Amino acid sequence: QVQLVESGGGVVQPGGSLRLSCAASGFTFSSYGLHWVRQAPGKGLEWVTFIRYGGDIKYYADSVKGRFTISRDNSKNTLYLQMNSLRAEDTAVYYCARSFRGVVGEWFDPWGQGTLVTVSS
C-alpha cells in the first residue's frame, strides 16, 4: 500500500542542524510532488515546504526560508529535509505528505506517521 515513513528526528541544540528523511513505497515516487508539514506540541498544522516531482521547483514557508532545504532522490524513493540554524520554535512533529492532484484540486494524501524534532539546550 502507499506508505511514507519519516526518520531522523531527535534532540538538537539551538543553532544546530538535523536532516530528516521520508522513505516512500507503494507508488511511483518520481511522479508526485511532496511536502513537509509540521505540528508544534499541542498546536495546529503548519506547511513547511514543497518539492515538485522532478525536484526542479521548491517552495518554502517564510518561517524556514534560508534555513531549511528540501530535496529528493528519485532513485532511492526518498525525500529529505535539511534543517540548519534550528530554533526553539522549530520544535515540532514533522510529517511528510504526498501531493495528490486529482480531476478537481490537489490535496495531501497520504501522510507519514511523523518524526519529532526537539530544539533545546
Partner 1 sequence: EIVLTQSPGTLSLSPGERATLSCRASQSVSSSYLAWYQQKPGQAPRVLIYGASSRATGIPDRFSGSGSGTDFTLTISRLEPEDFAVYYCQQYGSSRWTFGQGTKVEIK
Contact between 1 and partner 1 per CB under 8 A = no
Contact between 104 and partner 1 per CB under 8 A = yes
Q: How far is the CB of 74 from partner 1 (least distance, A)?
A: 22
Contact between 59 and partner 1 per CB under 8 A = yes
What φ, ψ does residue 16 adopt, rounded to 5°?
Answer: -85, -175
Contact between 105 and partner 1 per CB under 8 A = yes
Contact in structure between 5 and 23 (CB atoms under 8 Å): yes
Contact between 8 and partner 1 per CB under 8 A = no
Closest CA to 91 of 59, 43, 50: 43
Contact between 9 and partner 1 per CB under 8 A = no
Identity of the amino acid at 72: R
Please give the Cα distance from 56 to 29 (Å, whole number).
15
Contact between 68 and partner 1 per CB under 8 A = no
Q: Mapping DSSP to helix (H, G, I), strand (E, B) and coil, where does residue 50 land?
A: strand
Q: Which residues bind partner 1 (CB under 8 A)?
A: 35, 37, 44-47, 50, 59, 61, 95, 102, 104-114
